[in-house]
Amino acid sequence: MIADAIYNEIIAENERRWKRLRAEYDPVTGEGVAELTGLKRVKLEIPDFAIPVQWVPSSMMDNKLIKEVKRAGTIEKYITTKKWKYGAPTKDEVERRIRRIRHKHDFVFWAYFCIWIKHKTLKKRVRFELNLNQLIALGECERMFAQHEPISFILLKARQWGGSTFSFFLQIWRMFKWNEFHSFAIAAHTSSASQTILTMLIRTIKDYPAWDLGLPDVTKLRLAPADSSGHAFCIKDQSGKQVLEGFIYIGTAEKPDTLRSKDISGAHYSEVGVWPDTPGKQAEDIIADIEGGMTEDEDTIRVMESTAKSSDDYFAEVWKSCADGKGGYRQIFVPSRDVIFDNRKIDDMREFVEWLVEHKDEDVPSGKWKDSGKYHWWLWEIGSTLEHINWYRHRRLRLSFAKMCNEAPETPEQAFFTAGNHVFDPFLVAAKSKKNSRRPEFVGDLVAEGEKGKEALKNIRFIPNATGNLRIWEKPDDSPVRDRYIVILDPRRGASEGADPACITVIDRLLMMPDFGLDGRPGVVAEMNYKADPDLQAYDAMRLAKWYNNALLVIESNTMEQLNEERNVGIDSFEYIMDIVSKLYDNLYMRSAPEEDVNGNKIYKWGFHTNRATKPKIINFMKECLRDDLWDEPSELCYLQMASYMEDHGKTDAEHGKHDDIVMSRAIGLWICFKEMDLPAWIAPQHEEKKDIISGDTSGMTNL
């Protein structure tokens, strides 16, 4: 049982959240809009106007007519006291002029009175009354407009809340009310999607009140073809006369030529996440072609929107590049908790709240529910209603966590989760990345007297180079400590463009010394992640190990021992390379093989062999290290690879189109670091020893 005070506090907070979610405002008077958009409104009183008291955008108060009517006190006094050169207008005419002025300055008012849309649940056409999320998006756009900036936003869609609908009508509003020359292009992902958009716009223009454009009431507007292409449209009346100078171009990413090089000041890119990605037809190229001569001024409206389909497509790349206000677009994301349809009635509120509070610290699922009590409490902490949490846990019974994240995300990171099971807890990866990732202190290359042979290990020195392959967080320290550094090489797999690059990791184990206490942990101090021939990779790894105080060098042998069909080299190539390495560098890792020689002695082989027995163990141990914060990982690239490392039918691998070389290099390094190597220790000068070979049984790791 929880205390009544706690229960009442949660219920009161839930009511506050529902008030916000319901977006309680009046689109006619404007009351309540400012609180939802974050934009200032002022009170306008005209006693004999159809709406006597209004809360309007402050920009509207600068209009000459509004100033004169307000000064007069009423419309009637304005008409009777003003000197008219060509005859006084009627009260209805002045009222319409006031309404048209408000339509120009108040998108919410304009949308409600001029736009009709099909309601998803009522299945009938209704006035366009903006919901909470559309109001939030409007606030972002109005702020850009007020600062005389181009309106450019990237919309990460989750569920259907009308983001695209809002964006389309924002372009229409700009054309109808601000600049009749405003032309814009809409690029959909498929022809059927473009047809759906076209149908919606045709109906919208048909229902639009002609008087708002200064035309006679009897005028019938229509969206008509502007030429024979089938992709260019304009606004015409019933006689076929074009009534606005702007054009609307509608096409698809499948046939981008239909939208190329148009004279436009607006563009809407729909469902970019599923656009084709083929040579000559990539999303980035298509958008560049469409925008062509598009200017960067305050009349520009550029919208990119999509549901998240992958974490490595063009849309995801643009979204991530715009984080923290950077990039060419302002980010707009609507979480599932802010979609009013994503709520489910609670039968026994007291029982539900007590369950939520009592299980809030539990890391494991409770009862039939699929997620932990801690996760459900997290949903509450980030602003969900109790009814949304109830909706989530029931829907989760039918869907995997990854599918829920993709369909109803609470954060942008969740939206980009892909179907499948993440090996590493994505929340933990994101949290560790935010806390620990940092820029390297040095970027450059290690050079020596030569690239190969003995000269490759002579006079080793670091050369700063902004485009170098070596990233360093800490340079070598020459304190007399043995078993301090370990260097792991995960070689490049194959020669194709999409093949995994090589990864060389350097781990410093100094803080594992007993002198630093039980909480000391190793840390990654350098890495290389690049593409090169196998022998050159080996030389780079040797050079790095030599530089880091003759560190233990571990080479993952599975890659080189298996036949490489592309280059027709296999184990002989590996043996050749290891023959070179073993003659030049003596602190090499060896593993014990399962077989024995004729005398019953263990056979040792070079390198760490990743196979069906060892891979699950090193990956599971890396998961444990991540959970328990057992190593310092400064590399953002490592976190990115962990975030896209998946399990499918018992097999773990990088998500399609991603790489796992850094993950494997770290996993091997952490296993050997904790499971096989002696703790680092000070080297007494009088007893200094050189340790030549460290071996471990990784054929199945049965001795560990």
For residue 616, the domain's CATH number is: 3.30.420.240
pLDDT at 580: 78
Per the domain annotation, does 461 fall within a domain? no
C-alpha to C-alpha distance for 422 and 648, rounded to whole angstroms: 9
Which band of pLDDT confidence, cut at 50, 70 and 90, is reported for residue 594?
low
At 687, the pLDDT band (50, 70, 90 cuts) reads: low
CA distances from 10 to 353, 354, 362 (A): 8, 10, 19
**241 lies in the same domain as 332:** yes
Domain-located, residue 415? yes
* Same domain flag for 85 and 159: no
For residues 238 and 109, membership in a common domain is answered with no
Q: Which has the closest alpha carbon to 462: 439, 445, 480, 485?
A: 445
What pLDDT digit, counting tens, does each position of 130-175 carry?
999 999 999 999 888 888 888 999 999 876 788 889 999 999 999 9
C-beta neighbour count of 447 within 10 angstroms: 15
Domain that holds residue 482: 477-696
In this prediction, residue 571 carries a pLDDT of: 42
Beta-carbon neighbour count of residue 586 at 10 Å? 13
332 lies in a domain? yes
Contact 364, 182 (CB under 8 A): no
For range 555-582, the mean pLDDT: 58
- Rounded to 10°, the helix 163-173/107-114 angle is 100
Residues 539 and 608 reside in one and the same domain: yes
The burial of 74, by beta-carbon neighbours within 10 Å (0-12 exposed, 13-18 middle, 19 or more buried), is given as middle
Q: Residue 442 falls within a domain, yes or no?
A: no
513/649 same-domain check? yes
pLDDT over 70 (residue 229): yes
Does residue 79 have a pLDDT over 50?
A: yes
Angle at 247 between CA 196 and CA 304, to 5 degrees: 55
Boundary-marking domain end, from 402, 419, 436: 419
- How many folded domains does the chain comprise? 4
Q: Does residue 6 sit in the same domain as residue 62?
A: no
Is the residue at 627 inside a domain? yes
Q: Is 600 within a domain? A: yes
The answer on 678 and 547 residing in a single domain is yes
Tell me, yes or no, whether 298 and 229 share the same domain: yes
CA 180 centroid distance within chain = 36
DSSP 1-49: ---HHHHHHHHHHHHHHHHHHTT---TTT-TTHHHHH---EEEEE-TTS
pLDDT at 602 over 80: no
**Residue 438 counted as domain residue:** no
- CB contact set of 319 (below 8 Å; sequence gap of 6+): 154, 156, 331, 412, 416
Q: Among 317, 339, 361, give the residue marking a domain's end.
A: 339
- Same domain for 158 and 117: no
The DSSP secondary structure of 486-512, one letter per residue, reads EEEEE----SSTTSPPEEEEEEE-GGG
**486 plus 405 within the same structural domain:** no
What is the reported pLDDT for 698? 47
Note the maximum CA span of the chain: 119
**pTM recorded for the entire structure:** 0.67
**165 and 77 within one domain:** no
pLDDT tens, residue by residue, 319-374: 888 876 777 899 999 899 998 889 999 999 999 999 999 999 988 888 899 999 99
Cα–Cα dist 591/609, whole Å: 8
Q: Of 404, 419, 434, which residue sits at a domain end?
A: 419
The pair of structure tokens assigned to 539 is 């030389």
Q: Which two tokens stand for residue 573?
A: 């190539």
Average pLDDT over residues 646-660: 80
Domain assignment present for residue 664? The answer is yes
User: Using an 8 Å Cβ cutoff, are 294 and 249 in contact?
Assistant: no
Q: Find out whether 231 and 259 touch, Cβ atoms under 8 Å.
A: yes
Residue in 336, 302, 338 with CA at minimum distance from that of residue 322 = 302
Q: Most confidently modeled of 156-160, 530-534, 568-572?
A: 530-534
Query: Token pair for residue 348?
Result: 């026994």
The reply to whether 89 and 197 lie within a common domain is no
